[in-house]
Chains A and B, each alone.
Chain A
Amino acid sequence: MLVDRKHIPWAVATIAFGAAASAWYLSDAPRHLNGPSGSTAVGLTLGSVALGIMLFCAALSLKRKVPHWRLGKASTWLRGHIWLGLLTCLLVGLHAAFRLGGPMTTLLWVLLALVTLSGLIGLVLQQFIPRLLLHSVPGETIAQQLRRRLNDLPMLAERVVLQYAGAIDTAAPPWQDGGDAAGQPPAGGEPIRRFYLDHLRGYLAGENGGDMRDPHRAENLFSALHTMTPAHAHAGIAGLNSIYHLHRDLQRQRRLMRVLFAWLLFHVPLSWALLVLVAAHAVMALRFWT
């Protein structure tokens, strides 16, 4: 979710509602002999509103499971999730009169802080990682297809090598179909075979080290290979080059997506923990209300 002009009405509404809630709290606080607290009418109301907003924020994950119900645009839900979620922090503070309280309420404060912080981190990441993916990963694919595409690349590279160089190792692979009628490897294919064995195969298999990890060195190797092979083999070199660059793109995409998704592993479970404990707090606070 990019923070753009469409967020302005939400920001204005959040600030206005926050100011109104603060004014209400400040006007009511002197009326209470023991000071403001969560058990006053204002405190209870603000706490209930905060709980309602938390339930709305949790509903975002449930809404995704029923996209056919037409409950509004996902972007609108997400903007509400962000801005109302921020407003919750203020409402909770007013509800608690900015006191930590006992063990349960202190834990709730900690969880609220972690959930809010992780959410803000995710929002920041979403401002530049998708753009980075768009501009620096031309070979980007669907996230769920990453593993399959990466696993296919060594096989595709071997097919190219077989086509232009014949057998790869002394033990021929089952799909070997290169070579001329006498079973000899095509002419000029030996440099391609050596290049694949010495550099590309290890790189595609994910082995550490090697010259292919540095794109400049890899480019030099491909250029050298170009000069060492006849013209009819250049298409094969181009094929290996595209496989190499696609592998680099997919690896970069995998790294960026791990960062993009990692924050959710904190945000979602902590949010559910917060919700469970807030529900327990609401029930028990009412139970012991004096």
Chain B
Amino acid sequence: MPDRRPPDSRPIEERFDVTYVRRTHGPDLANRWLAWLVVLGGGGLLAMLAVRGDNRVYSSGSLSAVHASFGNDCAQCHQPAADGSSNFFLPVADDACLRCHAAVEHASNQTQFSAAGAVVIPGHLEPVRMAAQCAACHVEHRGHDADLNLIPDRMCVQCHSNLSRDGLRPAEAPPVPDEPAVETGP
């Protein structure tokens, strides 16, 4: 194999740059610049959105058609807690829904969804903690075509899995009254 050592009588400090360890290598420097550019650019963009109060980018999915008219205004549903404990957290409280929807008791012996706060269902059923909120069953951000009235059967079957055990035979179950029309308005 040919010799790769060229004829070079210079001392080593002239043949090589012995101070190279004090400088950042080219590719590392490019990486550093690009990383800073990305961090500052991305952070700046998010800060700009925060200043403008535009939180649409954080949406977990598009709103249903019935709520799409105020889809650009998260505050219509996401509001600070009523007790004023924190302005940072913005859950969806029942008050936001009740501003437009005259929600009534869904069943005469309804106990689970009549008060704010979690309710533990005791007894022979597996203890299941259920949120006593409209949003627990009527879930938004499921797409434009989602029907908020369409509640999956498992919502009911979670508690009412055995009607005879629960004291009601299917034939004796009182008829479910027609759901009153939902009032919408300002």
User: Which residues of A come within 8 Å of B, CB atoms?
Assistant: 31, 33-34, 101-105, 138-139, 142-145, 148-149, 152-153, 156, 159-160, 238-239, 241-243, 245-246, 249, 261, 264-265, 268-270, 272-273, 276-277, 280-281, 284-290
Contact = CB atoms under 8 A, between A and B. Distances in A.
Nearest to B133: A290
B141 A102 contact: yes
B125 to A, nearest CB: 13
28 contacts: A33-B137, A34-B136, A101-B61, A102-B62, A103-B56, A104-B57, A104-B58, A105-B60, A138-B1, A138-B4, A139-B4, A142-B20, A144-B20, A144-B23, A148-B16, A241-B2, A243-B6, A265-B34, A269-B34, A273-B38, A276-B39, A281-B58, A285-B60, A287-B88, A287-B89, A287-B90, A288-B55, A288-B90
B78 interface: yes
Interface residues of B, number: 52
Contact of A269 (B35, B56, B61, B155): B35
A288 B74 contact: yes
A149 B6 CA distance: 11
A290 B31 contact: no
Chain B CB count within 10 A is highest, among A105, A159, A270, A273, for A273
Given A102-B141, A287-B88, A145 B3 contact: no
A245 B2 contact: yes
A103 B139 contact: no
Interface in B57-79: 57-62, 74, 78
B177 to A, nearest CB: 24
A272 B35 contact: yes
A277 B8 contact: no
Interface residues of A, dominant DSSP? helix
A153 B6 CA distance: 8
B91 A290 contact: yes
A143 B26 CA distance: 10
Contacts of A105: 60
A290 B136 CA distance: 8
Given A33-B137, A269-B34, A269-B38, A246 B25 contact: no
Contacts of A280: 46, 58
Nearest to B56: A103
Given A102-B62, A273-B42, 18 more contacts: A31-B128, A34-B136, A101-B60, A103-B57, A104-B58, A143-B25, A144-B17, A152-B8, A153-B6, A156-B7, A242-B3, A242-B5, A245-B2, A245-B3, A265-B31, A268-B35, A277-B46, A287-B89
Contact of B6 (A239, A273, A288, A290): A239
Given A265-B34, A276-B42, A102 B57 contact: yes
A246 B7 CA distance: 11
Contacts of B133: 290
B30 interface: yes
Contacts of B38: 269-270, 272-273, 276
Nearest to A137: B4
Chain B CB count within 10 A is highest, among A33, A148, A261, for A33
Contact of A289 (B62, B89, B137, B141): B89
A264 B91 CA distance: 41
Contacts of A242: 2-7
Contacts of A104: 57-59
Contacts of A286: 89
A268 B34 contact: yes
B43 A276 contact: yes
B59 A33 contact: no
B170 interface: no
B52 interface: no
B20 A145 contact: yes
